[in-house]
Structure formats: structure tokens, C-alpha cells
Amino acid sequence: MIKNNKAYLFVAPFVIVFLTFNIYPILLTFYYSLTNYTGMGGIENADFIGLDNYRRLIQDDFFFQAFFNTIRIWGLNFAIQIAIALGLALLFTDIRLKLKGLNWFRALFFLPNIITIASVALLFSILLDWNFGSLNQMLLSLNIIDRPINWLNNPTYAQSWVALIGAWMWFGNTFIVLMAGISGIPTDFYEAAFIDGANWWQSFTKITLPQLKPILLYVFITSIIGGLQIFDLPMLLTDGRGAPRGSLNTMVLYLYNQAFSFANFGYSAAIAYGLFLITIVFSAVTFKTMYRGQVKVKKGGKK
């Protein structure tokens, strides 16, 4: 490593922009979370009200509803996504099946992931339309249903659709990641297990899953951090305020509406920090589980 004053020049743009557009807004948001700011007139027009916004937050039924909506949507989405992705990854890595066309399937399954969520949301909002949506029309013409179903007017259906659309967009990505993980497991493990007479289920639970644990946790943690921030899809699928009956009101949608629909900037800032805290808690719990898992493996190895 050498010293050269040019180094300061090289990092200067980054540091200046970072401080101005990252750190300062985060601190400013924190300050506003302690005020009753309405979004008009800047910092002089914000009255300091201490922790009132946070007190309101922990008593706010809508925020709790938004939290549980978010978790429910994410949970269902993750369950569907991981089931499909893991199933596909196991099929494509099976040494006896030797399936062909991996590159094609991988690309096709991944494609929905890069489509603009705003477009996806609007597309599904009309495909799922009660009267004129293609889905109901298709189900009616196939005689699967005899009356149109109002998909987006029923809280359970609406949440399930958000989860399903999310899973549709993300299972390809998860599949690729899991494939990479499984391909990294040495094949001698499986050969040895095969010689020892292990069946498919045994080598899956005793070799694949434990070996895959770090990757699974990586998938889990990236998924939950993304899932807690879900916004575009629930906003554009219905009225943007969480219809039907508040079931699509997610935490970030609530944050957005509090600030930009109801001019409660101060409270919205408190929601942002609440969301941040929740993210930290979820990440910490996951990391801790991962750490404990690794220690166990090490101990087992020493014996």
C-alpha cells in the first residue's frame, strides 16, 4: 500500500455524494420523525414533538395490519417460490435423470424477474378484472367456474395473488441460486451415500439440505429484506390505498401514503424507522440461526 494524496481526490466524489444524498437524508428523516412536519416549508416549519410519532406508531392498528399483511404476503410468496425452485433444482441436478435444456428453462423461468413491476401490476390488474379480465373469461369458457370471481375484491384472494405474482417473478432467480449451490456439492458425497445404500430421500435430507444451508439462508435473508419492502405491486394492483379492505396495505405503501397522500411527513418518517428496525431484527435473527448452524456442523466434524 502506498500513500498518495490523489487517493483523496479519487474518493472525494463518492464521499461528497454519499454524505449529501445518503447519510444526510437518513439523518434528516430521523429528525423529521421527531416532528409534526407536513412536507411544506422545510426544517423551520417542523415542530419538535419528541417521541409522539413513535408512541403513535406502536398503537397504530393500521401499521400492525400493514405489518401482518406484508408478512403474510411475503410468507406465502416465499413458500411457493422455494418449493418450485427447490423442486426444479433437484430435478436438474439429479445425476440419473440427466435432464437437457437447462439453459433454456433457466432463462425462461427467470424472465419475469426483470420485467418492470409497474407493468406487471397493471397487466394483472386487468387480467384479473372481475368482468372483462382474461382469467375469468378463460375459466368461464372452460366451465371451471360458472360465475365470475371478483379476485381483487376479496382480501384473501387479493393477498394470494400478490404472493403468487411475486413468486412467479422470483422463483426463476431462486432456482438459479439454488442450482449454483447444489452444483457446488461434491458428487463423491452422493456416490459414497449410494454405495452405502442410501435412498433418494436420505441423500436429500442428509447431504443436500445440510450442504445447502448457507445458500438457503442467503435466499431467505435477501427474500425477506426485499419482501418487507414490497410496494409497487400492491400499490398498482388495486386503488393504491390498500383495497380490498386494507388487505394490500403494506408497510412501505402505508409509509408512502402517510407522506404523499395525507401530508404526515413526520409520522411517515417514524414508519420508515420502524420498518428499518423490523428489518434489522429479522436479519439479526436469521444471521444468528446461520451462525449457530455452522457451529453445530463444526462440532459434529470434530467427533
Q: Which is nearer to another protein, 60 or 172 (CB)?
A: 172
123-128-129-135 Cα dihedral, nearest 10 degrees: 110
Say which residue the cell 449410494 belongs to. Answer: 194
119 binds another protein (CB under 8 A): yes
Q: Which is nearer to another protein, 253 or 302 (CB)?
A: 253
- Collapsed DSSP state (helix, strand, coil) of residue 35: strand
Closest distance between another protein and the C-beta of residue 302, in Å?
A: 26
User: Residue 266 Cβ, how far from another protein at the closest point, in Å?
Assistant: 9
Residue 200 binds another protein, judged by CB under 8 A: no
Q: Does 118 bind another protein (CB under 8 A)?
A: yes
Among 79, 91, 145, 192, binds another protein (CB under 8 A): 91
Alpha helices in 111-247 (DSSP H): 117-127, 134-141, 155-183, 187-195, 200-203, 209-228, 232-237
Amino acid at 63: F
Tell me if 210 contacts another protein by CB under 8 A.
no
Query: Residues 79, 83, 126, 285: which binds another protein (CB under 8 A)?
Result: 126
Residue in 189, 190, 194, 218 binding another protein, rule: CB under 8 A: 218
3-state secondary structure of 183: helix
User: From the list 63, 74, 78, 124, which residue makes contact with another protein (rule: CB under 8 A)?
Assistant: 124
The SS3 call for residue 170 is helix
Q: Which of 58, 97, 145, 297 binds another protein (CB under 8 A)?
A: 97
- Could you identify the residue written with the cell 442428509? 206
Residues 157-196 that bind another protein (CB under 8 A): 168, 173, 176-177, 179-181, 184
Neighbouring CB atoms inside 10 A of 68's CB total 11
> Which residue in the set 62, 64, 68, 132 belongs to the binding site for another protein (CB under 8 A)?
132
State the DSSP string of 260-271. HTT--HHHHHHH
Q: Does 268 bind another protein (CB under 8 A)?
A: yes
- Residue 45 contacts another protein per CB under 8 A: no
Determine, following the binding rule CB under 8 A, whether residue 143 of this chain makes contact with another protein: no
Q: Is the backbone peptide bond immediately before 112 cis, with ω within 30 degrees of 0?
A: no
- 106 binds another protein per the rule CB under 8 A: yes
Q: Grid coordinates standing for 92?
A: 436438474
Closest distance of CB 131 from another protein, Å: 8
* C-alpha distance across the termini of the chain, in Å: 43
How far does Cα 138 stand from its chain's mean position?
30
Compute the least distance from the CB of residue 32 to another protein, in Å.
6
Q: Which of 134, 153, 156, 202 forms a contact with another protein (CB under 8 A)? A: 134
| Angle, helix 209-228 to helix 61-93, in steps of 10 degrees | 150
